[in-house]
Chains A and B, each alone.
Chain A
Amino acid sequence: METAIKTSTVKDKLIFEFDTSKLFLFGNTKLREKAMESFYKIGIPNRKHEEYKYTRIDVMLKEEFYFSPDKNCNDEQIGHLKFLKDAFVVIIENGVFVKGLSNLQNLPKGLIICSLVDAEKSNSPVFEKHYAKYADVNADPFIALNTAMTKDGVFIHVAKNTIIEKPIHIIHVATAIQNTIIHPRNLIVVDENAQAKIVESFEILDSTAKIFSNALTEIVIDEYAVVDHYKIQDENAGLPDRQELGYLVNTTQVIQKKQSVFTTHTFTLSGSLVRNNLTLVLDGEHIESHLNGLYLTAGNQVVDNHTVVDHRKPNCNSNELYKGIIDGKSTATFNGKIFVRKDAQKTNAFQSNKNILLSEAGTINTKPQLEIYADDVKCSHGTSTGKLDEDKIFYLRARGLSLESAKKLLMHAFASEVVNTIKIEPLHEYIEGKIFKKFE
């Protein structure tokens, strides 16, 4: 009984916080109220909630949490987070766009990067057309909560026919000395026949308390546009003594129009709890979508990837590859849904989830879910979970490699299938380096 009271306390606190702050938040208060109503109905999901039964965010939120971060970073502190040297850099600190720390000089024609608050204030028609139109507040409590409570984030608009060759690097950096909840939100709109590369990284700096980030990004990809998207989740990397402070729910909601190409990559390298809700709606013909994911878990980590690929129109291709290496007492979950709607004939949809379990105490939950309503489609899915192959290890040792380096080489080989899908060379190197260090 006590548990129930505590859980409801967090919910009540969120609702109270919303009521006192809603008039000071940007944008449409009605939209926020509607979202809050939806959150109120669903509540914080517990183990009875099918979509969250392996990832107990309700347990984590039993602690005391605050809503106003009370620390600020300076330029020097965040320098190393800007690991892409030749990029447009956006700093989102504790959920707020910080122009002073960002690197956005000389933006080319056709590219707008500004805070959500500014986009709303300037009555941008693109913002108005697309903001909060895709992530459904009734579908998920964290979408509802983010829509109700977000303070800020970044708005990116790539105009028709514009090709942005430099990557746009959105760095979400959080820092706190008391347990804090933040709701960063981004809107990325890539117009017809335009192209962009977006990298989102998630980091924590200089903190002594837990940070729960409920981050949401909506990506709108118009006809013939090409978008390459990366998420690098490494929240505990910057903390000393293996502190476990980073808790992340990361929603990515994508809508694709005809003939567009979208490739997304999710690298989860650290973080006490990481839940990814990635949804792609393929709303046009001849769309191509690629979803790649790699998670390396250890300790008591919980990493949960939920993906949805929604084929709504004919002649589209989607290809999904998620791989994980699970160590310690960590838990990894993969749940991949593919919908092929009645109209979506000639769909090709493929999905694969492969895992290596290094420890006895680690857990993998993997669940492919295909719902097919069209009759002329090619769909397949496969999952595998196993240990490192003893025959391969022996073969390598028989050539003089130590047991340790044989294992490292095999893990590296396993991960490289996903790592090699990275098309931005400096990012490829960065991730290679990170993974190499993790296997040490």
Chain B
Amino acid sequence: MISIKNLHASIDGKEILKGINLEIKAGEVHAIMGPNGSGKSTLSAVLAGRSEYEVTEGEVTYNGINLLELSPEDRAREGVFLAFQYPIEIPGVSNVNFLKTAIGEIRAFKGLEPMAAKDFLAMLKEKQKLVELDGKLANRSVNVGFSGGEKKRNEIFQMAMLNPKLAILDETDSGLDIDALRIVANGVNKLKSKDNATIIITHYQRLLDYIIPDFVHVIYNGKIVKSGSKELALELEEKGYDFIKEEIEA
């Protein structure tokens, strides 16, 4: 589904990603872990198309297309979804109106007929249930006055509505209490299929108790330094990131 080769990226002239290589196939869940400042969030930002980051080397092929050439909206329309670590508050724009506009533009891009209002509302209800999001929140301004947990659930709600091929969850677990974490994980698990793939970016292992990854990668100083199965996450949790640092420096 996505192939990342020797990806280098920098911001304000400072190199953050120093040669990332990653292959992800449909149906797979990949966890990317690493200490703070290792480049995890930069990777998600580059994949989503944030313009502050400059890709200086390497390539990203997504379903046969050069992802890096696409605008952020075209990436979204092609099925790439980023669940933000810090979801943005947008006063005056209701969740519903926002999603209606987004789905409208995605469908137009794909040459599909606009969705009937009735179908849209039915889908809205169904997906709200999936993440146990209060119906009232859907009519409120995007993320305004939402608690931290509600914001994260709203991200997964949007993901459910947009039904992406590749979902990137950027520290979706941070700041979530255990109940909210279960709800979010449950939502993500229900959305999983053999046709889509998920990248979970996280600092802690806990989320991976609920969303079982097929592969775990450790990113350090802008590079993937270790890959393995889900046991690697447990080892990291136990020994801390220092053991990785020691291994590398040894």
Contact = CB atoms under 8 A, between A and B. Distances in A.
Interface of A: 391-392, 394-403, 405-406, 409-410, 412-414, 416-417
B92 A405 contact: no
Nearest to A395: B88
Given A400-B103, A402-B105, 5 more contacts: A395-B87, A396-B98, A405-B101, A409-B93, A409-B98
B77 interface: yes
A400 B106 contact: yes
B233 interface: no
A402 B49 CA distance: 13
Contact of B90 (A392, A398, A402): A392
Contacts of A405: 101, 105
Please indicate which of the listed interface residues A395, A405, A406, A410 has the most CB atoms of chain B within 10 Å of its own CB: A395
A416 B87 contact: no
Interface in B133-154: 141
Given A405-B105, A409-B101, A397 B90 contact: no
Interface of B: 48-51, 71-73, 75-77, 81-82, 84, 87-88, 90-93, 97-99, 101-103, 105-106, 109, 141, 158, 162
Contacts of A396: 90, 98, 102
Please indicate which of the listed interface residues A398, A405, A413, A417 has the most CB atoms of chain B within 10 Å of its own CB: A398
List 9 A-B pairs, minimum CB-CB distance, nearest first: A413-B92, A400-B76, A397-B72, A395-B88, A399-B102, A400-B106, A397-B73, A400-B102, A413-B93
Nearest to B105: A400
12 contacts: A394-B50, A395-B84, A398-B48, A400-B73, A400-B105, A400-B162, A402-B105, A403-B71, A410-B93, A412-B93, A413-B91, A414-B92
A413 B102 CA distance: 16
B93 A397 contact: no
A157 B119 CA distance: 52
A401 to B, nearest CB: 6
Contact of A410 (B51, B77, B90): B90
Given A395-B84, A396-B98, A401 B105 contact: yes
Please indicate which of the listed interface residues B48, B71, B75, B93 has the most CB atoms of chain A within 10 Å of its own CB: B93
A320 B71 CA distance: 40
A380 B93 CA distance: 27
Nearest to A420: B92
B92 A399 contact: no
Given A400-B73, A402-B73, A409-B98, A395 B90 contact: yes
Contacts of A403: 71, 73
A391 to B, nearest CB: 5
